[in-house]
Chains A and B, each alone.
Chain A
Amino acid sequence: NAGVMQNPRHLVRRRGQEARLRCSPMKGHSHVYWYRQLPEEGLKFMVYLQKENIIDESGMPKERFSAEFPKEGPSILRIQQVVRGDSAAYFCASSRPEDSPLHFGNGTRLTVT
């Protein structure tokens, strides 16, 4: 039973470029969450999605960041015009509708040069 799959594992972008991070939830899970973790800091909630719906985006920066979870395919976290401060580990997690525990993917380490 495959776990939460994230790709790429590592992503390097120059300032001003776009970063696209992908997440496929565990089989049977229809809820997806994105978190960001800066070095030596905790996990910060960004956005919670179900298929074709954004449920809670209270942790998303107002500009340059967007997320989607289409009917078909993985969830995408998109960061436009990246800046050095966007360098972090981005974790995706999924859960079943009736179950609270989140199961995390291996993360994408974004480095902005």
Chain B
Amino acid sequence: QKEVEQNSGPLSVPEGAIASLNCTYSDRGSQSFFWYRQYSGKSPELIMFIYSNGDKEDGRFTAQLNKASQYVSLLIRDSQPSDSATYLCAVNGATNKLIFGTGTLLAVQP
């Protein structure tokens, strides 16, 4: 079992729709959870982090965490073509390093 799992996609949504990205993790001791966005050929860019169960909202982005289910999600409201990218879920592991999933490719269709 991979430490952090994501559906590789592509996830295709129409412009203006809600994109829902999901992630599961295996280490119950993980305390910190992150979403990064990576455009093709570019470096990862931090979008959101969440430490507590529940929802955390920042503009069009909402991160959701359920530690009991070991599940993290990212919702993107009013999706725009510029949101098209690979979204990486990351979870802190031993020694506080981040363990990344392989990413979900999101394609927002105009």
* Given contact pairs A42-B88, A43-B88, A103 touches B46 in the complex (Cβ within 8 A): yes
Q: Cβ of A91 and Cβ of B43 under 8 Å apart?
A: yes
A104 within 8 A of B: yes
Q: Cβ of B102 and Cβ of A42 under 8 Å apart?
A: yes
Chain B positions within 8 Å of A42 at CB level:
88, 100-103
CA gap between A48 and B96 in the complex, in Å: 9
Q: Cβ of B99 and Cβ of A45 under 8 Å apart?
A: yes
Which residue on chain B has the smallest CB distance to residue A31?
B96
> Could you name 19 residue pairs across A and B whose Cβ atoms are closer than 8 Å?
A43-B44, A43-B88, A45-B93, A45-B98, A45-B99, A48-B95, A55-B95, A56-B95, A56-B97, A93-B98, A100-B32, A100-B34, A100-B49, A100-B96, A102-B34, A104-B36, A104-B45, A106-B42, A107-B43
B80 within 8 A of A: no
Chain B positions within 8 Å of A100 at CB level:
32, 34, 49, 92, 96, 98
Chain A positions within 8 Å of B43 at CB level:
91, 104-107
Our pick among A33, A55, A106, A107 for the contact of B98 (Cβ within 8 Å) is A33
Q: Cβ of B46 and Cβ of A41 under 8 Å apart?
A: no
Q: Which residues of A contact B (CB under 8 A)?
A: 33, 35, 41-45, 48, 55-56, 91, 93, 100-107
Chain A positions within 8 Å of B90 at CB level:
102
Chain B positions within 8 Å of A44 at CB level:
100
Number of A-B contacts defined by CB within 8 Å: 50
Q: Which residues of B contact A (CB under 8 A)?
A: 32, 34, 36, 42-46, 49, 88, 90, 92-103
Chain B positions within 8 Å of A33 at CB level:
97-98
Q: Cβ of A101 and Cβ of B46 under 8 Å apart?
A: yes
Chain A positions within 8 Å of B46 at CB level:
101-103
* Given contact pairs A42-B100, A42-B102, A43-B100, A104 touches B95 in the complex (Cβ within 8 A): no
Closest chain B CB from A93 CB (angstroms): 8
CA gap between A43 and B101 in the complex, in Å: 8
